[in-house]
Amino acid sequence: MKCPFQKSEGLPLKNLVTGEILYDTLHHSAKATNILCNEEFCSGSSMGLFGTADRIKAVEEQKQASLFTEAQKFVTECYNEWGRDENELNQRLSVVKAEIDQTGSYDLTPQEMELGGKLAWRNSPRCPGRIQWKNLKFFDCRQTNSLEEVFEAICRHIEFSTNDGNIKPAITVFPKRTFGEPDVVRIWNLQLITYAGYAQEDGTVIGDKVNTEITQHPRYPQFEKLGLEWFALPAVSSMMFEIGGLEFPAAPFSGWYSLPEVAVRDILDKQRYNMAKPIAKILNLDTASATNFWMDRVTTEVSVAVLHSYNKQQVTIVDHFKQADQFMDFFQSEHEIRGGCPADWVWIVPPLSGSQTPVFHQEMLNYQICPAFHYQKSLASMYRPKGQDLPSFKATAKALVFMNNLFAKRLRERKTISIYYATETGASKGFATILQKIFVNGYVSKAMNIAFVDTDEILNPDSQEIHQAIFIVSTFGNGDPPTGAIKFASKIKDLMNRGKRLENLEFGVFALGSSAYPNYCAFGKFLDDSFHKLGGVRILPIGMGDELNGQDDSFEEWMFGLGHLNDVPQGVKSHLRRLEQISNQQLFEQEFKWEVSNKYIEEVDNMQHVHGKTVRSVKILNKQIVANRFIHLELDVSEMNENIRAGDHIAIYPRNDTNAVTEIVGSLQDLPAKETPVKLSGGTFAAPTGTLEFLLHAFYDINGLLSARDLKFIERFMLSNEDVEKLHILQKSKTKIPLRFVDLFKTFPSLAIRSEDFVGRMKLTRPRLYSIASSPKVNSDGKKVLDLIISTVEYLDAKGIPRKGVCTSFLKSCNVDSIILGHYQASTLFGPVLEDQSRPLIMIANGSGIAPFRGIWQARLVRDQNENHVGATTQDLLFFGCRSFKEDLYATETKNILERYTVYSRDPDRPKQYVQDAVKARKYKILDYILNLNAIVLVCGSAGMADGVKTVMDSFLEWEGLSVEELKLTKSYIEEIFV
């Protein structure tokens, strides 16, 4: 009888912490294998659960007979992945069939091999680091046959993948196996780089009983006396790569180490270096008894040492907590995309702190699908007699099948509702997950990323089946859909243009956005309006959540509205109503309290604690005010260890205005002792420690907006009916003028609130991101230096009150040699542009939007000088808009570096023009750059400017059958927008 985990219809996999159940259907395509189990025992934790590749091969004749079937499966998967049409697929399959009929085998194209290598990694059930599978680099060495060529290929692989410590995943594939003939290339090492082991006459081993960079310890320098070393690159070299029915016995592949692999499995395991007791000795630990947990202490300290060592040498390594979180994201995503994820729980759960990681509590299903990597017999075992195959078990199969069928029947009786999310930062995914956990109380429900679903499945005008769906979507940049939803938005526009209807769709939309942008929640509004115009039926009105003002509260309010609909299952209604009651109770029962701290905590440590970022001290070396509107800063960022690139960002942690803080403190009740450091308990996020004035000055957002729930809470502390009535009028006003914490006491003079209750409603002040305005450099004093150019922010709010930007005001008040706090943040937009130096750039900016472009042109200039380029054959283009000639930033610097076009909007001596006017005037040059030179368009600046540029660009791109949206899909048009 087969193992009950081999085939099932939607096998349920439960997360024992969240209660969420995923249903695995991907295992239906699992490869038939000789699982080493029988009726009496399960070998799920056996190293060779599926046997070696030799067991999988079966008989040569059988293999040959099934070769085209396997080839057809894989090639079809490739062409589906690439979006090729059926004619192209059939042509390719006919070539493969003819090749097999003529020669008994066939060859895959390099593109097919590359995708196959990525899929083999994606399919590897024992690898917890598969989230990066799309980034695998493929080296094609199938024509290699001499020892020298093999050695050179391996060296190239190691050099590429090691990458000076910034590890890149890679696979090198050598010639395929021809049955009946000796393998052309076979690598007997378990890994490309290993330490040797020499057996001694007394049974001991010098070296690795099968293999570290120099291992140091930040707290125990005596670790260095042990001389422990490990290498940077784990490159598995002894496994066989199976793809499309073909076998490649030599296909070394590499990624990066996870911390427990080195610290626990390599250094401490008894069958490896067995260093536990020697390390315990230098830590002065008693090893006579296990009950003092000396082994746990050793394991922790070795892990600290390894992580410290790799980080110090700037070699990529991932700790087990981060890897477990990444795997859970991958696991969820794979179920959304493919309906399953093969995973070997025994290998996925780390050997260190296993139950403290989320993977420990997740049920998994272990099976093999192709392409795949398989174990092969070792050199020594090739000459041992073969043992007989172990029989498979069947003891519990009938019971499991019965329970599964019963469960499936109950699920089929439930209604189905789909939850789709579109996200850039993960916020909409978080809300979708919350909703899905509630819906499982009465629906068959899944939360799915729009980027990974079949749009025709959702938007099918010919379907007769009612489709209920909730869409939780964010808006990206200047009113655009998130990257993963661009195709979905295009499909909707296409249906509207063709006059199609979606009368089978019952929908609800919750839109996320920022009210700081003019096109607030634009993508969500677009979906709601389009679905309605296409004939869809609204389940409930659109909800909108402002990231600047109570987004969580807005989502809760919208979500609770679902509980009042007639057609919602009773289980879901009950759950929503119970949550609503709890939420209202918590608002008034939440108790904030000051806790006195016995010690002073450094501001840097405080910031790191509450923000979870690697915060560092930054020194202002130079400061200039340009045209009374911009601040140019030269910063010493030597304490930042990251590999900072042009186009990346520095986040600055601002301080609030001292006078405003003093006014607030003077209005609060029940203040903690003035010089006593305190910490607020009862909140929902990590709290900083310090005196009240210091906390309000450096950590809490006194300029933040109050949400509806905040106002409901604050109302209890108003002593006059006049203030209460004023609040009610403001709440009912159609204009909904927002209220800020800093203005509360001026607006409501009778407000008498305890300091802890007031501070408890605030959020933390967010760090402000600024694009680096230079190529990172080292000055004459050996300092790592970079520049920022920042627009000062001054405006009138909705009440006509003058406001200033919190961070720009703070920076304007700072002096040279001042120390501020910041952290580095890599850019996912402009940063990667530097990696492709071959394509010319069309840079479009206004105001301080020029900042990242200055870094990029400086980096390109350095490159040209280092590579002895006399001059680029094609100059990059810069279109820049500013108010007046005095604000023409870096004009002198760009001479002879790039082709620059500057326009002025408020200069009395020059015609009034905007950036889009300059773009329109040079449309033929821009088209030439895009069509013939494969240029990348980079836009950085205000939302209004970006909108105008997009409109103009679309007007002439249309001549060539193109659009900005299409260029965005190929990363040839990239925007970074600010307000």
Task: Quick: pLDDT tens for 537-595.
Answer: 998 899 998 887 778 888 988 988 887 777 777 767 776 776 776 666 666 667 889 99
How many other C-beta atoms can be found within 10 angstroms of the C-beta atom of residue 146? 9
| Residue predicted with more confidence, 671 or 42 | 671
Between 437 and 393, residue with greater pLDDT: 437
- Residue 325, Cβ density class (10 Å: 0-12 exposed, 13-18 middle, ≥19 buried): middle
Instruction: Give bridge partners of residue 841 from the DSSP assignment.
Output: 936
Whole-number Å distance between alpha carbons of 620 and 812: 12
Instruction: Name the amino acid, one letter, at 498.
Output: R
In the structure encoding, which two tokens stand for residue 568, read together? 């919602």
- pLDDT tops 80 at residue 417: yes
More confident residue, 114 or 599: 114
pLDDT of residue 384 exceeding 50, the answer is no
d(CA 500, CA 502): 7
Residue 85 has pLDDT above 70, yes or no: yes
Q: What is the pLDDT of residue 301?
A: 87
Pairwise CA distance, residues 849 & 855, whole Å:
12
pLDDT at 211 over 50: no
pTM over 0.85: no
Tell me if residue 669 falls in helix, strand or coil: strand
Query: What domains, with CATH codes, occur in the chain?
Result: 195-234+253-339+348-362 (3.90.1230.10), 415-574 (3.40.50.360), 593-768 (1.20.990.10), 828-977 (3.40.50.80)
- State mean pLDDT over 688-695: 94
- C-alpha torsion 39→45→50→51, nearest 10: -100
pLDDT of residue 392: 41
Per-residue HEC secondary structure of 684-717 comes to CCCCCEECHHHHHHHCECCCCECCHHHHHHHHHH
Q: Which of 24-38, 708-722, 910-924 has the lowest mean pLDDT?
A: 24-38
Residues in CB range of 834: below 8 A, 6 or more apart: 645, 646, 647, 856, 859, 860
Say yes or no to pLDDT of 771 above 80.
Answer: yes
pLDDT tens-digit map of 652-665: 999 999 999 999 99
**What per-residue confidence (pLDDT) applies to 889?**
94
Asked if 845 and 866 count as a contact pair (C-beta separation under 8 A), the reply is: no
Higher model confidence: residue 527 or residue 383? 527
Structure tokens at 523: 């993508």
Q: Look at residue 43 in the predicted model and tell me its pLDDT.
A: 61
Cα distance between residue 298 and residue 283, in whole Å: 8
Instruction: Work out the angle between the directed axes of helices 551-561 and 570-589 (0-180°, nearest 10).
Output: 140
Instruction: Report the distance separating Cα 224 and Cα 610, nearest Å.
Output: 34
The band of 527, judged by pLDDT with boundaries at 50, 70 and 90, is: very high
Q: Which of 941, 940, 946, 919 is nearest to 930 (CA)?
A: 919
DSSP state of 480: B
Helix/strand/coil for 295: helix
Query: For residue 651, which of 536, 563, 769 has the smallest C-alpha distance?
Result: 769
pLDDT at 2 over 90: no
Rounded Cα gap, residues 870 and 599, in angstroms: 60
State pLDDT tens for residues 736-766.
677 899 999 999 999 999 999 999 999 999 8
- Summarize pLDDT for 915-941 with one digit per residue, the tens: 999 999 999 999 999 999 999 999 999
Q: Is the pLDDT higher at 569 or at 672?
A: 672
Distance CA 3, CA 435 (A): 35
pLDDT confidence of residue 53:
47
Give yes or no for residue 54 having a pLDDT over 50: no
For residues 387-399, give the mean pLDDT.
Answer: 44
Burial class, 492, CB count within 10 angstroms (exposed 0-12 / middle 13-18 / buried 19+): buried
Q: What percent of the chain has pLDDT over 90?
A: 40
SS (H, E, C) 40-77: CCCCCCCCCCCCCHHHHHCCHHHHHHHHHHHHHHHHHH
Q: How far is CA 32 from the centre of its chain?
A: 34
Give the tens place of pLDDT for each residue, 263-303: 888 888 887 778 888 888 888 888 887 888 888 888 888 88
Section 614-628 average pLDDT = 93
349 band by pLDDT with thresholds 50, 70 and 90: very high
Average pLDDT value for the chain = 84
CA distances from 823 to 137, 192, 644, 699, 763 (A): 31, 37, 11, 15, 19
Q: What are phi and psi of 532, to 5 degrees?
A: -65, -45
Cα–Cα distance for residue pair 364/925, rounded to 1 Å: 56
Dihedral sign (CA 203, 209, 215, 217): negative
Q: What is residue 310's predicted lDDT score, i.e. its pLDDT? A: 85
pLDDT at site 586:
64
Which amino acid, one-letter code, is at 259?
Answer: L
pLDDT of residue 720: 92
**pLDDT value for 199:** 62
Please report the pLDDT score of residue 822 as a whole number. 95
Residue with the bigger pLDDT between 818 and 212: it is 818
Distances (CA, A) of 239 to 154, 249, 375, 612: 15, 7, 5, 40
Average pLDDT, integer, range 713-740: 85
List, for residues 891-907, the tens digit of each pLDDT value. 999 988 899 999 999 99
The pLDDT score that the predictor gives to residue 7 is 42
* Closest alpha carbon to 740 in 701, 689, 796, 781: 701
Instruction: Give the residue-averaged pLDDT of 175-180.
Output: 86
If one compares 628 and 52, the residue with the highest pLDDT of the two is 628
Least confident of 32-36, 39-43, 69-73, 168-172: 32-36
pLDDT score recorded for residue 945: 92
Least confident piece of the model among 350-354, 580-584, 824-828: 580-584
More confident residue, 862 or 54: 862
Please tell me the distance from the alpha carbon of residue 818 to that of residue 635, in angstroms, as a whole number: 10
Which token pair is 798? 């909705």
Which has the higher per-residue pLDDT, 387 or 586?
586
Buried b (16+ CB within 10 A) or exposed e, 428-459: bbbbbbbbbebbbebbbbbbbbbbebebeebb
Q: How far apart are CA 358 and CA 322, in angstroms?
A: 10
Q: Which residues contact 976 (CB under 8 A, 6 or more apart)?
A: 477, 771, 827, 829, 830, 849, 852, 938, 939, 940
**Under a CB-based contact definition with an 8 Å cutoff, are residues 839 and 935 in contact?**
yes
Among the listed residues 824, 455, 868, the one whose alpha carbon sits nearest the alpha carbon of residue 644:
824
According to the annotation, is 37 in a ligand binding site? Answer: no
Task: Give the number of other CB atoms < 10 A from CB of residue 277.
Answer: 13
| pLDDT on residue 386 | 46
* Beta-carbon contacts of residue 804 (< 8 Å; ≥ 6 apart): 792, 793, 794
pLDDT tier at 394, thresholds 50, 70, 90: very low
Round to whole Å and give the CA distance between 856 and 259.
35
- C-alpha separations of 579 from 270, 559, 561, 563, 584 in Å: 51, 10, 12, 10, 9
Which pLDDT tens digit goes with each residue over 319-346? Answer: 988 899 899 999 998 998 888 999 999 8
Residue 496 has pLDDT above 80, yes or no: yes
Q: How confident is the model at residue 389 (pLDDT cuts 50, 70, 90)?
A: very low
Phi, psi angles (nearest 5°) of residue 804: -125, 150
